[in-house]
Amino acid sequence: MCGVFGVYGHPEAAKLTYLGLHALQHRGQESAGVVSSDGGRLYARRAMGLVHDAFSSEDLRGLPGALAIGHVRYSTAGGSFLKNAQPLAVDYSRGSIAVAHNGNLTNAEELRDLLEARGSIFQSNSDTEVIIHLLAMSKQKALEDRIADALTEVKGSYSLVFLSEQALVAVRDPNAIRPLVLGKLPGSAFPNVVASEPVAFDLIDAEVVREVLPGEMIVIDKNGLHSSSPLPPGPRRSCVFEYVYFARPDSKISGATVYEVRKNLGRILAEEQPADCDIVVPVPDSGVAAAMGFAERAGVPFELGLTRSPYVGRTFIEPEQSIRHFGVRLKLNTVGDTLRGKRVALIDDTIVRGTTSRKIVKLVRNAGAKEVHMRISSPPFRWPCYYGIDTPTRGELVASSHTTEEIGRHITADSLGYLSIDGMVDAVTRSPGFDGKRGEFCHACFSGEYSIDITAPSKSRQLPLLLV
């Protein structure tokens, strides 16, 4: 779960990248990085934390040139270290190259073993470093051919943005799993920005041109934009979870506004899993739009019965004498008497482990709710994602080993209902503006139908080197 951005041909390329990354901040808060080029060499800066904190004016002045790419990275379980921050940037035989990657390679470990056997050395545990090595070893001359060479060997999901001294290259995997969209700055003769989501364009006055196609490579340089398809386009399998949870509500994916899709998810959920309730209450912030749709379809009042603190950081100091619902209460609070005596339909987007849902249900009940009916605007989350979303193992996913009824009891809800896979897909395809097709989604995390043939996703070997 990351965000990427690239711009070509703007005198303040690094600043635009910084702003684009700010708009993509929800895709990753652990680290941020920008690499720029002045036509002759690359300049790089990566830092931990939010984009806003990671770059000072002086930092941006140190990133000159009219080309730049950037990356925001999500915090993953494995530990958060600067060496894993992107874009990666190295020197190789043809000069310098930088890359920002959203996605996950499923054969990274095999490739890494092969590369090491040929003498390669690795400085990070990122699968992205594999791509760079393959690119450097290609016998091709042209950058685009080297990239194509490298990507022919990798499997998995990738929305990639490369930067050389003189060109910007964007590539999307043949299944188009992770999003990537092309835009144009005002005054540019050709499209010259790429980003994970179109919200990155809104902030910098760029307009959306189109999505990057499955298996497409776009090269932007002094000759303008050149599109090619060096990789055989597979069947499109775009991640449906972007609609459910991950993308910003104001983003459009395949023509459909995420906010509208989420309301649809709620409407269909109300039809599939009705609840005898007095009010519909979302778990903020991600459940709000679905709850609005649910309430509308159910004809029951929508109430903001839970508030979410905007000030929650990563860790909080807890008193030794423990406090009830401490963890969840730092983030959520119930609103006065809004819930008292009510039968509440509580709307959330997913249940992962079940522990948080259990705490929230208790919190709502403590606030006086008579009944709590949990409704989830997606199907049971049963399978890990191998394509770039950081999910727990199967063992930790409560829905992979428990029935809906069992989960309902565990979280102490009076009833629990999930949306069906069909309902979820309907919610997307029936949204205004949607221009894709019904079968074009990856919903492996719900269905187990992995888009890419993976015999057995290689297990991450224990990280041999730990930078502290």
Which residue stretch of 346-354, 378-386, 411-419, 457-465 sits at the interface with its own copies (rule: CB under 8 A)? 457-465
203 token code pair: 């902030």
Which residue stretch of 13-21, 189-197, 237-245, 403-411 sits at the interface with its own copies (rule: CB under 8 A)? 13-21
CA separation for the pair 398, 381 (Å, rounded): 8
Place of tokens 């609840």: 275
Residue 207 or 449: the one with the smaller Cβ distance to its own copies is 207
Peptide bond into 285 cis (omega under 30): yes
Place of tokens 């685009």: 144
464 sits near its own copies (criterion: CB under 8 A): yes
421 sits near its own copies (criterion: CB under 8 A): no
180 sits near its own copies (criterion: CB under 8 A): no
Binding residues for its own copies, rule CB under 8 A, total 102
Residues 193-212 close enough to bind its own copies by CB under 8 A? 199, 202-205
Residue type, 10: H
283 sits near its own copies (criterion: CB under 8 A): no
Q: Residue 272: CB partners within 8 Å, gap ≥ 6?
A: 417, 419, 420, 423
CA separation for the pair 277, 299 (Å, rounded): 10
334 sits near its own copies (criterion: CB under 8 A): yes
39 sits near its own copies (criterion: CB under 8 A): no
249 sits near its own copies (criterion: CB under 8 A): yes
Among 307, 401, 403, 460, binds its own copies (CB under 8 A): 307
Residue 155 or 248: the one with the smaller Cβ distance to its own copies is 248
Among 39, 78, 116, 449, binds its own copies (CB under 8 A): 116
Place of tokens 């849902």: 357
Residue 26 or 343: the one with the smaller Cβ distance to its own copies is 26
Among 22, 172, 297, 358, binds its own copies (CB under 8 A): 22
Residues 343-382 close enough to bind its own copies by CB under 8 A? none
119 sits near its own copies (criterion: CB under 8 A): yes
Q: How many CA atoms lie less than 13 Å away from 286 in the CB half-sphere? A: 16
Among 223, 320, 456, 459, binds its own copies (CB under 8 A): 320
Q: What is the biggest distance separating any 2 CA atoms in the chain, rounded to whole angstroms?
A: 72
Q: In the complex, what is the shortest distance from the CB of residue 246 to its own copies, in angstroms, rounded to a whole number?
A: 15
Residue 232 or 464: the one with the smaller Cβ distance to its own copies is 464
**Under 8 Å between Cβ of 156 and 189:** no
Per-residue HEC secondary structure of 181-201 comes to: EEEECCCCCCCCEEECCCHHH
Q: Which of 2, 239, 277, 442 is catalytic?
A: 2
310 sits near its own copies (criterion: CB under 8 A): yes
Single out the residue of 391, 376, 453 nearest to residue 421, CA to CA.
376
Residues 130-169 close enough to bind its own copies by CB under 8 A? 132-133, 136-138, 165
> Burial, 319: exposed, middle or buried (Cβ in 10 Å; 0-12, 13-18, 19+)?
exposed
Residues 43-82 close enough to bind its own copies by CB under 8 A? 43-46, 50-53, 55, 57, 59-60, 62-63
Q: In the complex, what is the shortest distance from the CB of residue 215 to its own copies, in angstroms, rounded to a whole number?
A: 25
Which residue stretch of 235-243, 334-342, 391-399, 409-417 sits at the interface with its own copies (rule: CB under 8 A)? 334-342
Phi, psi of 396 (to 5 degrees): -90, -15
> Burial, 313: exposed, middle or buried (Cβ in 10 Å; 0-12, 13-18, 19+)?
exposed
> Burial, 173: exposed, middle or buried (Cβ in 10 Å; 0-12, 13-18, 19+)?
buried
230 sits near its own copies (criterion: CB under 8 A): no
Which residue stretch of 112-120, 227-235, 269-277, 368-376 sits at the interface with its own copies (rule: CB under 8 A)? 112-120
Residue 15 or 237: the one with the smaller Cβ distance to its own copies is 15
For this structure, is 385 an active site residue?
A: no
Q: Residue 277: CB partners within 8 Å, gap ≥ 6?
A: 298, 300, 342, 343, 344, 345, 371, 373
Q: In the complex, what is the shortest distance from the CB of residue 420 to its own copies, in angstroms, rounded to a whole number?
A: 25
Single out the residue of 175, 181, 286, 194 nearest to residue 235, CA to CA.
175
Which residue stretch of 219-227, 271-279, 312-320, 351-359 sits at the interface with its own copies (rule: CB under 8 A)? 312-320
Helices 143-153 + 128-137 axis angle, to 10? 120
Residue 237 or 359: the one with the smaller Cβ distance to its own copies is 359
264 sits near its own copies (criterion: CB under 8 A): no
Among 39, 76, 235, 463, binds its own copies (CB under 8 A): 463
3-state DSSP call for residue 59? Answer: helix
Among 41, 353, 409, 437, binds its own copies (CB under 8 A): 41
CA separation for the pair 68, 192 (Å, rounded): 11
Q: In the complex, what is the shortest distance from the CB of residue 202 to its own copies, in angstroms, rounded to a whole number?
A: 5
Within a 10 A sphere around the Cβ of 126, how many other Cβ atoms?
A: 19
456 sits near its own copies (criterion: CB under 8 A): no
Within a 10 A sphere around the Cβ of 340, how many other Cβ atoms?
A: 12
Catalytic residues: 2
